[in-house]
Amino acid sequence: MNRGNHYIRLYLGMLLSVLLASLFFSGLYCFNNKYTQHTTQPISGLLILSETDMEQHPSRYLWHDWAYYPNVLLTPADFQDGSPDRYMTYVNLQSGNRMDLSGQSDQARFGCGTYLLRIQVPNTHISYSLDMPEVFSAYRLYINGNPALSIGNPDPDHYQDATGSRLVTFFPDENGRVTILIAVSNQSYFYSGMTFPPAFGTPQALNYTRGIRLGLRLCTIFMFQIAILVCGYFWFRTRHKNAALLALLCLLMIGWTVYPLLHTLFLLPVFPTYWLETLCCYGTLTLLLYLHNQVCGISATVSRISCGVAVSVCIGLSGYFFGASAIPDWGIAAVSHILAGYKLLLSAYLILTAFLTARKSEKNHQLLYVSLFFGCACLWDRIYPAYDPIFGGWFLEWVCTVLIYMLSAMLWRFLAESYTQNRLLQQQNHNAEKQLTMQTNYTLQLREQIEIRRRFVHDFRHHLRTLHTLAEQTGDQTVLEYLDSMGEYNSGTGKAAETYCGRPAVDALLFYYDNLAEIRHIDLSLQFQIPESFPMTDVELCTLLGNLLENAVEACLRMPPEAPKRILLKTACKPAFWYMVIENTYDGILVPKEQQGLFTRKNNREYHGIGLSSAIHVAEKHKGTLDVQPSAKLFRVGVLIPTGKHATTPKAMPPQ
C-alpha cells in the first residue's frame, strides 16, 4: 500500500511538473516576449504613432516590416531624391534572416544590406530614444540623415566586426518624422544582420526597462558569486570534489549570462566573444550532466559515455566557430538541427535516469521534477522559435538556473553533513590526542621513578657487598649466612621496560599490545624502527600505530578459536622514506562502506571506520600514503612516509 502511494505521488508530481513548466514557458512567451507585445507595429516600412499610442506604450520593439535593400550599403545621400532604384523588400527582424535574399548563394548569411524604417511621432518637442541590441556584425546607424552610431566597420574593403548594445537619443524633424537607416555587413557570424528588434520610445521608458533588465542580470550573477564562495568554503573544509565542480558550474553560468552586461559596457569582437559564450552554455550542460550522474548514482560506464558525448559536442562547437567563414548555409542549418536534437536527447536522458532514481527513493523526486522542467524548456524552445525575452534569459537559461539551484541544495546538504562528520572526527581526534598527551606525561614520570628505583637498587647492592665484607672481617656468621641466602643480593631485578624505538610513549604503546597479544594468544612479531629525524610527533605516531594495531587485534579475536592468529609489524628505513607494514590474519569477511574504504565491525556503529580514517589523516598530513590490501586470509595495511633524510639503524629488537 505504501509502495502504491509512492508511485501515485510520483506520477502526480510528474504531471504537475509538466503542467506548471508548460504554463511557465507559455507565460514567458506571451508576456515577456518582444514579439508578442500588443503595440502598434510598422506596416510597409512606416510606423504612425498617436498620442494615445505613446501614452499607453511609451516604448515598443520594432520587429515588423522593415524595408530591406539586400547586397548594398546605402547612406542618407542615396535617399535625397527619394527611394533609390534598387531591389527592396519588407522583412521581419528575427534569427532566420539572411543578407542575400536571392537564395543562389551557399553563404547567404554573409554579405551586406540596408534596413530602413520611418516613424511618425505625435510630439516634435520631446526627445526619443532607440535602444540598439547586438547587430551582426558591423553597422552604421543614421537618424534623420545624420550619423548617430557606428559599431565596427561595415565597409567590405575595411571590414571589422564588433557588437554592442547602445542607447541613442534624438529629436524628430520639424514634421514629426524619424527616419532610421541601418547599413549592416556580416562576414563573421552564423546569424546575419539585424536578428534582434530594437526598442523605440521615450528616454525615460527605455532607461527604466534597460535598468530593470540589467539589474536582474546583476542580481543573478551576484547569487552565482555567493554560491561560488559557499562552494569554495566547503571545498576548503572538506576537499570534496563536487564542491569544486559546483563552483565551476556557477562560474560557467556567469560566463553564459553576463553577456548583456558586457555588450552594454564594451564593444566586443564577434570572435571569440560568442564562441566563449556558447562554450560556457554547453560547458554548463556538460557539468550539469556530470553532477546529475553523481547525484543519481549512475554506473561509471554509462556516466563516461554520456559525459563523453557532451564533451564531444563542446569540442565540435569550437571547430564550428573556428571554421565559420567556410561553412555553407546548409551546414549551419544542419548543425542547428543537431544541437536541437542533442538538447532533446539530453533532456530525455536526464528525465529517464532521474525517474529510475526517484522510483527507489522519495529524496530524488525533486531532481526528477526539475529534469522534467528542463525537458519542457527544450521542447517549448522548439515550439516557440520567435521568442526574445524582455527581462531575464532564454528558456534554457531559466531552466539551467533552476537546475543548478536544485543540485546546489542537494549537494550542499550532503557537503554540510560531510562537514559535520568531519568536525566530529576532528573533535574525537583532538580528545584522543589530549588523552595520549596525558598518558605520555604519565609514562615519562613513571620512567623517571623506575630510573630512580634502578639507581637505588644498584647502589643498595654495593651497600650489601660492603656489609658482607664487614661481616667477614668481624667474623659475624649470622650476618654472613643471611647475606649469602640473598644470593646476588637481588632485592629486585632492576630490569628496565622493553625498548623498541627509544621514544617512551611509542615504547609504552608497543609494550602494551605485546602483552595484550600474549594474553589473547596472538602470535605478535614486532620489527619496529624509525630514523632519528622522523617527522611524526609521539602523538601522531601513537595515533597511527594504536588505530592499526587495535584493528589488527580485533580482527584476530573475531576468528574461530582453533584458527591461528598472527600479527606481523615490520618497518624499513630508506634514505627518502619510512615504510611500515601491518599484516594480520582475519576471517575473510569485509563490510563495504557506502563511499570508499571499509567499515570496521565494532559493536558501536557510531565509530565505524574512524580508526582507519584517523590513520589515513595522519599519513596524509605528512604527505604520505596508507594503502589497504585485503586478501582471502590476510589483511595488510602499508604506510609510506617521506623523510627526505637517511635513516639510521636503531637498537636491536628483543626476540619475539
pLDDT-derived band at 640 (thresholds 50, 70, 90) equals very high
User: What ranges do the domains of the chain cover?
Assistant: 2-35+209-419, 46-201, 497-656
Distance CA 626, CA 609 (A): 14
Count CB-CB contacts under 10 A for residue 96. Answer: 13
**Cα distances (angstroms) measured from residue 293 to each of 289, 372, 398:** 6, 16, 21
What is the model's pLDDT at position 41? Answer: 94
Could you tell me which residue, 477 or 628, shows the higher pLDDT?
628
CB 49 within 8 A of CB 124: no
The residue among 146, 154, 111, 153 whose CA lies nearest residue 130 is 146
CB 614 within 8 A of CB 566: no
Distance CA 180, CA 153 (A): 18
The angle, 0 to 180 degrees and rounded to 10, between the axes of the packed helices 395-474 and 2-31 is 130
Cell 573475531 belongs to residue: 558
Chain centroid, CA 637 distance in Å: 32
CB 161 within 8 A of CB 146: no
Contacts of 218 (CB under 8 A, 6+ apart): 261
What is the model's pLDDT at position 656? Answer: 34
pLDDT tens digits along 602-634: 554 444 456 777 788 889 989 999 999 998 889
What is the model's pLDDT at position 168? Answer: 97
| pLDDT higher than threshold 60 for residue 461 | no
CB 357 within 8 A of CB 302: no
- Dihedral, CA of residue 281, residue 284, residue 286 and residue 287, to nearest 10: 170
CATH top class, domain 46-201? mainly beta
Distance CA 94, CA 33 (A): 13
pLDDT tens digits along 304-346: 999 999 999 999 999 988 887 788 888 888 998 999 999 999 9
Helix (H) or strand (E) holding 629: strand 625-630
Pick the CATH number of 497-656 from 3.10.580.10, 3.30.565.10, 3.30.420.40, 3.50.50.60: 3.30.565.10
The backbone torsions φ and ψ at residue 411, rounded to the nearest 5 degrees and listed phi first, read -70, -40
* DSSP state letter for 586: -
What is the model's pLDDT at position 182? Answer: 97
Distance CA 9, CA 365 (A): 9
Average confidence (pLDDT) over 157-161: 92
Percent of the chain clearing pLDDT 70 (strictly above): 85
pLDDT tens digits along 498-508: 677 877 778 87
Q: Where are the beta strands (DSSP E) in 104-197?
A: 111-120, 128-132, 138-143, 146-151, 166-170, 177-186
pLDDT-derived band at 493 (thresholds 50, 70, 90) equals very low
| pLDDT higher than threshold 80 for residue 428 | no
Distance CA 83, CA 523 (A): 106
What is the model's pLDDT at position 474? Answer: 76
Helix (H) or strand (E) holding 353: helix 329-358
Average confidence (pLDDT) over 207-231: 91
What is the model's pLDDT at position 634? Answer: 92
630 prior amide bond cis, ω within 30:
no
- Dihedral, CA of residue 314, residue 315, residue 319 and residue 324, to nearest 10: 0
pLDDT tens digits along 373-386: 999 999 998 898 88
What is the model's pLDDT at position 632? Answer: 86
pLDDT tens digits along 96-146: 888 888 766 677 888 999 999 999 999 878 999 999 999 988 999 999 999
Contacts of 555 (CB under 8 A, 6+ apart): 584, 585, 586, 587, 635
Contacts of 316 (CB under 8 A, 6+ apart): none
| Amino acid sitting at position 481 | E
Distance CA 493, CA 481 (A): 21
